[in-house]
Structure 1
Amino acid sequence: MPRSPLQMLDGLLGQEGMESAAHRFVLGGPFGAEPAEVSAARLAHFADAGGLLVETSHSYAKGQAEVAIGPWLRQNPGTLGVATKVGHDFTGADIPLSRDTVHGHVRAALRSLGVETIDVLLYHCDDPDRPVAELADTLVSLVEAGYVRRVGASNWPAQRLSALTAELAERGHTPVASYQFSLAEPDPAHLGGSLHADRAVLDVVGEHRLPLLAWSSQARGYFARTEPREINGRPDPYDTVDNRHRRRRCLELADQLGTRPETVALAWTLHHPQVWPSIGARTTEQIDRSLEARRLQLTDAQVGWLRHGR
């Protein structure tokens, strides 16, 4: 009997599914900031294309993103899993991660999403004033309460992520990590306080074989553009000298392969077996363009050349 999408999701998030690229795309996008019918069409298209997981946050769109996704999930139960994050208020500011606050936000997320259990629940930020053991206990309590299936953290310093991984391992859990990760390495000074999966983070991810949900996996459209632009009133964090060279190499390889440079860049991200690229598509056509990356089987030499030029 074929496995359901959520059974497949459980397997892929487990150790045995790390090598499969077929279903590792995660759908993000402007849920809550667009007409409901646009969100519904994009969710349905992604599911029909074999997608398994939609990604959002309790704080996105001033708290309306989960509300926008909920009706489609209720009408299509068991079709897509959902990953959401808690730890920001509706302005995007960090909040204290007390057990009561986290549980309250998760219960609100469950009501908005209209699901009995959240598939992946992530801390949206760290709370450095709290011991990692306390934060791990809160995550485990969410699983034990039946609120969530998998837990993890986004934008934690590597040392704290390593400590959280150890604490959760003692409690029988392997966390999911979530960081910015793409072929374009951003300038952290312009990333707005979020963290890129740098070498230290990737060492933790690799050592413990953590699934890595890679947000901005297409570097906010950097490889599809040729002119610099501002993002949220700040300089584009991806517009660096090194990334301009990477974009040029993507264009060169795309010409050879008969595809688009942004597709090559996304295939580079997908080449990393523990990485789940999150695509912030705004249209069904953009979903299809992103999914084209699944057919590009880059060699290790091409992957190295795209990143380092050698």
Structure 2
Amino acid sequence: MPHSPLQLLDGLLDQEDMETAVHRFVLGGPFGAEPAEASAERLTHFADAGGLLVETSHSYARGRAEAAVGEWLRGNPGTLGVATKVGHDTTGADIPLGRALVHDHVRAALGNLGVEVIDVLLYHCDDPARPVAELADTLVGLVEAGYVRRVGASNWRAERLSELAAELVGRGHTPVASYQFSLAEPDPARLEGSLHADSAVLDVVREHRLPLFGWSSQARGFFAHTGTRQVNGRPDPYDTEANRARRRRCRELAAQLGSRPETVALAWTLHHPGIWPSIGPRTTEQIDRSLEARRLTLTDDRLDWLRNGR
């Protein structure tokens, strides 16, 4: 029987192994900043390939992204679960995470998406001026109000994430974490305030057994290209000497396996239990290339070699 994401998603977020009919990829993309037909083609292709979850934000595409995803969800109810984020305005700037404002944005998101319940809601940022307990109360209140099923946070410092996880786990809610995570470790000075899942964050994730959405799981196309490039007119945060060496090793292994370097890099991410790689393909062909990563079995020695060159 076809899987139902609304039946499977919550349980699978807490499992390391999944049914072969589904997969751990999360679909992102330029929803709201492209023709609706392009978004619909990828969403349909992703769902048909066993996808469970599409990811967006209340702020993406200057506030248009949720409505663009919602247009497809209304025509395909129950086909994909949805994760969205609150905490940025439509320019991408952080906003205060007061309870009333967060609830207002969540209610607006429900209308934009055309769903009764949001499957995963994430704080897009922290609000360090507020106690973690207050921010946890707001998330629990959203669950108790029936607005969301799962909650979590993106781009929080490790110590604050640890406090939030303890608050929520103590109340029966295992939060979802969302950070940059890939074989390529970015230059933090070039990530413009977003955070990479460094060793401190990963320690928190392991301690509390948190599912982790790993955005930019293919390093914004770094492994698919050669040479120096810019991203959105700025220096590529992944273009470092260490990452160029990792890319060379991916190309070497891809040649041996009859694959592509970006697929090998994504397979490295998939070999980390509990990580849900977020992909941002522009075409259905790029979705298929990402799905190929499931077919690549990498030994522990190869995983270490890809990362560390030894």
Q: TM class by shorter-chain length?
A: over 0.9
Letter in 1 for 2:110: L
SS of 1:161's partner is helix
Which residue does 1:139 correspond to in 2?
139
The amino acid that maps onto 1:101 is L
Give ranges in structure 2 of 5+ residues lacking alignment: none
CA distance in 2, matches of 1:212, 1:161: 12
The match for 2:173 is 173
Which runs of structure 2 are paired with 1:202-221 in the superposition (5 Å)?
202-221=202-221
The structural deviation recorded for 1:5 is 2.4
Q: Distance in 2 between matches of 1:184 and 1:297?
A: 19
2:6 is the counterpart of 1:6 = yes
Query: Residue 52 of structure 1 aligns with which residue?
Result: 52
Matched residues, percent identical?
80
* Residues 114-133 of structure 1 mapped to structure 2, 5 A cutoff: 114-133=114-133
Q: Secondary structure at the match of 1:84?
A: strand
Query: Which residue matches 1:155?
Result: 155
| 1:42 alignment counterpart | 42
Instruction: Name 1:79's counterpart in structure 2.
Output: 79
Give how far 1:79 is off: 0.6
Q: Distance in 1 between matches of 2:135 and 2:253?
A: 45
Helix, strand or coil: the match of 2:194?
A: coil
* Distance in 1 of aligned mates of 2:3 and 2:295: 23
Residue 40 of structure 1 aligns to a residue whose secondary structure is: helix
SS at the partner of 1:174? coil
User: Aligned-pair distance for 1:27?
Assistant: 0.3
Residue 304 of structure 1 pairs with residue 297 of structure 2: no
Q: Distance in 2 between matches of 1:168 and 1:232?
A: 37
**For the residues of structure 2 that align with 1:297 and 1:242, how far apart are their CA atoms?**
24
What is the match of residue 200 of structure 1?
200
Large movers: runs of 4+ above 6 Å: none
After TM superposition, the structure 1 stretch with the greater mean CA deviation from structure 2, 143-152 or 17-26, is 17-26
The corresponding residue for 1:18 is 16
| 2:267 is aligned with 1:264 | no
CA deviation vs aligned residue, 1:243-298 (integer Å, no higher than 9, x gap): 01000000000011010000000000010011000000111111011110010111
Query: What corresponds to 1:92 in structure 2?
Result: 92
Aligned counterparts of 1:202 and 1:143: Cα–Cα separation in 2: 26
The one-letter code sitting in structure 2 at the alignment partner of 1:43 is L
Give structure 1 stretches of 5+ with no counterpart. none
Q: Deviations over 1:18-77 (max 9, x none)?
A: 223841000000000000011111100000000000000000000000010111111111
Match of 2:27 in 1: 27
Counterparts of 1:96 and 1:68, CA distance in 2? 25
Task: Output the amino acid matched with 2:233.
Answer: G
- The TM-score normalised by the length of structure 1 is 0.98
How high is the TM-score relative to the length of structure 2?
0.98
Measure the CA separation in 2 of the matches of 1:23 and 1:63.
28
Secondary structure in 2 matching 1:152: strand
Distance, in Å, in 2 between the alignment partners of 1:139 and 1:228 is 42
Give the match's secondary structure for 1:54.
strand
- What's the offset of the Cα at 1:228? 1.4
1:75-116 per-residue CA deviation (whole Å, 9 max, x = no partner) reads 111110000000000000000000001000000000000000
Matched, 1:294 2:291: no
Q: In structure 1, give the amino acid aligned to 2:70.
A: G
Partner of 1:108: 108
C-alpha deviation, 1:2, in angstroms? 6.2
CA distance in 2 between partners of 1:251 and 1:47 (Å):
29
Aligned residues: 308
Q: Secondary structure at the match of 1:104?
A: helix
Give 1:233 shift.
Answer: 2.5
Q: 1:3: Cα distance to partner?
A: 4.8
SS of residue paired to 1:272: coil
CA displacement at 1:149 relative to structure 2: 0.1
- Alpha-carbon distance in structure 2 between the residues aligned to 1:187 and 1:74: 40
State yes or no: 1:231 paired with 2:231: yes
Q: Is the contact between residue 5 and residue 53 of structure 2 (CA under 8 Å) also seen in structure 1?
A: no
User: What's the RMSD between the two structures over aligned residues?
Assistant: 1.0
In 2: Cα distance, 1:2 partner to 1:38 partner: 24
In structure 2, what is the Cα distance between the partners aligned to 1:72 and 1:292?
25
The secondary structure found in structure 1 opposite 2:92 is coil
The CA distance in 1 between the partners of 2:206 and 2:302, in whole Å, is 21
CA–CA distance in 2 between the matches of 1:170 and 1:142?
17
Letter in 1 for 2:159: Q
